[in-house]
Amino acid sequence: MNWYLEVLKKYAVFEGRARRTEYWMFFLFNFIIGVALAILELALGGHDLLVNVYQAAVLVPSIAVAVRRMHDIGRSGWWILLPIVDFVFLLLDSQDGDNEYGPNPKAVAA
Tell me the pLDDT band of 108, cut-offs 50, 70 and 90. low
pLDDT, one tens digit per residue, over 30-82 is 999 999 999 999 998 878 899 999 999 999 999 999 999 999 999 999 999 99
| Domain ranges for the chain | 2-109
- Percent of the chain past pLDDT 70, that is, above it, reads 97
Find out whether 17 and 68 touch, Cβ atoms under 8 Å. yes
Find out whether 4 and 59 touch, Cβ atoms under 8 Å. no
Please list the alpha-helical segments (H only) found in 13-94.
Answer: 20-44, 49-57, 59-72, 83-91
Q: Is a pLDDT exceeding 80 seen at residue 109?
A: no
Tell me the pLDDT band of 6, cut-offs 50, 70 and 90. very high
Q: What is the pLDDT of residue 13?
A: 93
